[in-house]
Structure formats: structure tokens, C-alpha cells
């Protein structure tokens, strides 16, 4: 009997199974079921911490970022803050003409300040990241030297699988341009990890804390990563959405973030739904389902 007990223990370890938890392969199978029969291309990257177990599905495909790249822009801006080139207290004048120029795009800032306003850089960053404001994003681009300057900064961090070529205004003016602002799910996850772990002092303590609080306060994507999670779950994330073209095709519905079960158990998760013929509800449910399955995996570990 004793020998049989040790045999089964050995076999369980050999197969990577556990009577107390769930395997990554089981999680993969569940996610594959979510994606089954969906008329969309979906890139998924998940890394579980502290084990560093990873799950990748189409994670090296180039996918349009849409507003996810506002996370990249924020990193570049805060790097300039840390260098002393910019300050979070810098006052930025936003003219009435500028507001009128962006009123046709998604911009809570434009809706609130019809005659223009003056905001601090911290406020503009908050609009861009937490509210995914397009005018705020393009103001940030202007401050750091344009899209290619942001791309250069991200490449210098070692994240090469990303292209940032167009501002929000230019991207939204031409459907095809969103595909030129691309990343991979794997690269997005690595950038999340680089930011959250703040290795090599990517950002100062103050800048890191500011962006972390801002991403936790994200007000978009309530039916994406956040959609099926318990209300108390901590999630810091950034969304992206293209809307549909005349043919009913959705270019991108995305959400990337850091999802917590506890202070010591969390996951980096990036989900990009692109070229989808599904409804907005279905696209967002894909992301929400993957997040919920990931959370349940963390809970079982």
C-alpha cells in the first residue's frame, strides 16, 4: 500500500498535475472553448505570478492596438517627467479651436470643455489613460515629439514587436492605419511586466505610482477584462476599441492589464480581438471570459 501511494505521488508530479489546483493546459483548453467558432482573430498572452507559468495563443500575431497604445505613450511621457524635461504640474493650454478639431472623436475632455481649458499634465495623462481620451493622447504625442519618438522609447526598453506611427486623429481618419499601429499579445504582456515590476528603475517611484493609480482607475472596458470579475478584484488595465467599419467588421477590441487574486498571486493578461465579424457584446465577452477563467485559475492555485 505504501509503495502504491508513493507511485501515485510520483506519477502526479511527473504529469504536472495536482489534486488541489488546475494545470495551465486545462486553462488553455477552457480558453480554446471560448474562442471556438468565433469569427475573429484573437491574440492571448497570460503569465501567472509568482510561478511565471505562461499561456500563449496567437501571441506573436501583429494586432492593431487602438487605444492600448496610450499606455505606451504614458510611459514615454513619464520618462520625460523623470528626466526633468516635463513636470506633472506643467500647465497645458487647450484652445477652443483644438477642442472643435477633435469633437468628432471620442473625447470626454472635449465634451466637458467646449470653450477650451487649461489642465495640468497629470490631468491630461489621466484623461488619456483612465478615460481613453483621444485629444489628450495627441497632446501627449506633441509633448514628446510624436508617435515615432514613443516607438523609439519603447524599442529602447527591449520591446521591439511594436509599431507606433500614427496619432489618434490620423489613425481615426483612415481605417487601415490602425493596422500600422500594431503590437503582439506577447509584447504587450512583457511591457506590462516591465512596468509593474519596475526593473532597472523604468520609472521613478512617483511616476510609477501615478500611472499605477491611473490604470486602476480606468473607466473604459467595464464589460471587457473587468466584465465578469468580482467587484473587489484589483485590476489595472488599458483598453482599445476601433468600432465597426461599413462592412460591419471590428478592427480591434482589446484590453491588457495586471489582474490580482491576492497581493502575491496575480497575472499579466493581454487579449486582442481583431478582424472580428462578431457583435461588440460577443467581442467583449471573449475578453471577459478569458479574464474570469484566469482569475479562477489563480483562485485554485
Give the residue numbers annotated as catalytic, written as ranges.
67, 168
Could you write out the DSSP letters of every residue in 209-257? HHHHHHHHT--S-TTTTTTTS-TT--EEEEEEE--B-TTS-EEEEEEEE
- Residue entry with cell 509503495: 3
Burial of 272 (0-12, 13-18, 19+ CB in 10 A): buried
List Cβ neighbours of 114 (8 Å cut-off, separation of 6 or more).
96, 99
Backbone angles phi, psi at 172, to 5 degrees: -70, -15
The three-state secondary structure class of 126 is helix
Burial of 146 (0-12, 13-18, 19+ CB in 10 A): middle
**Residue 189, preceding bond cis, omega within 30 degrees?**
no
Amino acid at each position: 500500500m505504501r509503495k502504491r501511494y508513493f507511485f501515485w505521488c510520483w506519477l502526479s508530479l511527473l504529469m504536472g498535475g495536482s489534486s488541489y489546483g488546475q494545470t495551465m493546459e486545462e486553462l488553455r483548453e477552457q480558453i480554446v472553448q471560448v474562442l471556438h467558432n468565433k469569427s475573429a482573430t484573437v491574440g492571448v498572452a497570460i503569465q501567472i505570478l509568482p510561478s511565471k507559468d505562461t499561456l500563449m495563443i496567437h501571441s506573436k500575431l501583429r494586432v492593431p492596438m487602438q487605444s492600448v497604445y496610450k499606455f505606451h505613450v504614458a510611459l514615454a511621457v513619464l520618462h520625460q517627467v523623470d528626466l526633468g524635461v516635463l513636470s506633472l504640474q506643467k500647465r497645458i493650454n487647450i484652445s477652443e479651436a483644438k477642442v472643435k478639431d477633435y469633437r468628432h472623436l471620442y473625447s470626454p475632455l472635449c465634451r466637458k470643455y467646449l470653450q477650451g481649458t487649461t489642465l495640468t499634465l497629470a490631468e491630461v495623462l489621466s484623461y488619456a489613460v483612465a478615460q481613453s481620451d483621444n485629444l489628450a493622447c495627441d497632446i501627449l504625442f506633441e509633448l514628446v515629439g510624436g508617435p515615432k519618438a514613443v516607438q523609439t522609447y519603447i524599442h529602447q526598453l527591449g520591446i521591439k514587436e511594436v509599431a507606433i506611427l500614427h496619432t489618434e486623429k490620423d489613425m481615426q481618419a483612415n481605417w487601415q492605419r490602425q493596422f500600422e499601429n500594431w503590437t503582439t499579445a506577447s509584447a504587450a504582456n512583457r511591457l506590462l511586466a516591465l512596468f509593474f515590476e519596475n526593473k532597472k528603475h523604468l520609472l521613478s517611484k512617483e511616476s510609477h505610482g501615478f500611472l499605477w493609480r491611473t490604470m486602476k482607475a480606468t473607466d473604459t472596458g467595464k464589460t471587457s477584462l473587468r466584465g465578469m470579475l468580482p467587484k473587489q478584484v484589483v485590476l489595472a488595465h488599458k483598453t482599445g476599441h476601433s468600432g465597426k467599419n461599413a462592412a460591419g467588421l471590428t478592427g480591434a477590441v482589446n484590453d491588457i492589464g495586471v489582474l490580482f487574486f491576492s497581493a502575491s498571486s496575480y497575472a499579466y493578461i493581454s487579449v486582442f480581438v481583431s478582424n472580428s465579424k462578431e457583435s461588440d457584446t460577443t467581442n467583449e465577452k471573449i475578453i471577459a471570459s478569458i479574464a474570469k477563467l484566469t482569475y479562477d485559475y489563480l483562485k485554485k492555485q
